Amino acid sequence: MRLVLLGPPGAGKGTQAAALAAELGLAHIASGDLFREAVERGTELGLQAKSHMEQGKLVPNDITIRMILERLQAADARDGFIMDGFPRNLEQAQALDEALSQKGLALDKVVCLQVSTEELVRRLGGRWVCRRCQAPYHMVNNPPRVAGKCDRCGGELYQRPDDTEETIRKRLDVYLAETAPLLNYYRGQGKLVEVNGTPGVEAVSRELLSILKRR
């Protein structure tokens, strides 16, 4: 299965993609996580991405598309993947379609998580993320078992530098201007499924699994 998970910042893409990937045996490919790893390691890619991310802007397409198409070559992605955070504009969506079609492949479904702006801001304001494996937590909705530590790997939790009120607003604007038009693109391909992302983490997971298994 080849899936894309769309949705505004804070919709639960990372949370749900990790759960689905584990449940369905898919590779979880998260552009934001790949960029943050590169920033942490101080690589060339990290240097190129850092200032764009801090401002809540998109990293330029050439850098982003190259990184994702490279990641797609890895063995774990061969039997299926779930993309989280990519594509984010039309050029990226077309580059993905093109790369897949060159291998005789195509996306199966594109799921968009819908959540109100008010709730998005609440979620991002209370989010803590693992520095090592990037698993997202929320101090109220989804707290770790031990304060400040990742359940999955024991890594240290931190608040993302782009989770400030001002940058959250910028990221929401960028989503509406650049990413939201992808809904029509995928609707036109008959692949779009819109899902209410407002219920709790487990309820949304169950709904996503039932949709994907119905396929």
Residue 52 sits in the site that holds ligand AP5 (CB under 6 A): yes
2 annotated active-site: no
Asked whether the beta carbons of 2 and 106 are under 8 A apart, the reply is yes
Using CB atoms within 10 A of its CB, is residue 10 exposed (0-12), middle (13-18) or buried (19+)? buried
Residue 17 parent element (H or E):
helix 13-24
Residue 81 sits in the site that holds ligand AP5 (CB under 6 A): no
Any idea of the CA torsion for 123, 127, 130, 134, to the nearest 10 degrees?
A: 30
Residue 9 sits in the site that holds ligand AP5 (CB under 6 A): yes
Residue of 13, 71, 109, 123 marked active site: 13
214 annotated active-site: no
Comparing CB distances to ligand AP5, the nearer of 71 and 197 is 197
Residue of 2, 36, 88, 123 marked active site: 88
Q: Which two tokens stand for residue 203?
A: 């309820």
CA dist 99 → 92, 104, 136 (Å) = 11, 9, 30
Comparing CB distances to Zn ion, the nearer of 20 and 135 is 135
CA angle 187, 192, 196 (to 5 degrees): 125
Subset of residues 136 to 195 that bind ligand AP5, contact rule: CB under 6 A:
136-138, 141-142, 162, 171
Residue 183 sits in the site that holds Zn ion (CB under 5 A): no
- The least CB distance from residue 37 to Zn ion, in Å, is 12
Residue 77 sits in the site that holds Zn ion (CB under 5 A): no
Q: Is 85 helix (H, G, I), strand (E, B) or coil?
A: coil
How many Cβ atoms sit within 10 Å of the Cβ of residue 22? 10
Q: Which two tokens stand for residue 13?
A: 């893409």
Name residue 148's beta-bridge partners: none
- The least CB distance from residue 1 to ligand AP5, in Å, is 20
Q: Which residues bind Zn ion (CB under 5 A)?
A: 130, 132-133, 135, 150, 152-153, 155
Catalytic annotation, residues: 13, 88, 127, 160, 171
Q: Which residues bind ligand AP5 (CB under 6 A)?
A: 7, 9-15, 31-32, 35, 52-53, 56-59, 64, 85-86, 88, 92, 123-124, 127, 136-138, 141-142, 162, 171, 197, 200-201, 204
